[in-house]
A and B are shown apart, each in its own frame.
Chain A
């Protein structure tokens, strides 16, 4: 596996985590828990953003693996 596809996989995992977190943030009845989940969502969003930026650079430098 190339680095680009590994990064892509990590992004996908993190996005999946975001989905689950969002679900729990909506489901929970406790305000404090909701706050923690929302904070986690924000942090995860930031990481995904940066990883996607890195992804673009990687795809640019190894265009033969684009889309893998």
Chain B
């Protein structure tokens, strides 16, 4: 093997090593800092969880019919259910366009000590036919899934 070839191979391996080193550090950051990972639970799964206080999580399900109560000054309360269990959600702020009773919803926030979920973000999807995949999964788990698998275009 001539010198140029060795040198070139060395250079390529340095490139790859640098690349691997930086990517690994990304992986370490991801597994170390649990804050950047947001777990999703259905109301039923939430019942079984103990260690979730003070952690930002997402919950999802259907907004129960006639459960939305406006408390003035953009404060609102509603119930999210998955057919078996339910949870009361408290939120202050503007609601997404597609938020409504009987629709799928995802709330991001923290579990309060009083058993009320304090959401700081409400995600409802752009398309009203759409069911968030996690919510659909959660409903399937409890056997309350009624809809057909909706295909969404775009």
Chains A and B belong together in one complex: no
- Which chain A residues have a beta carbon within 8 Å of chain B's beta carbons? none
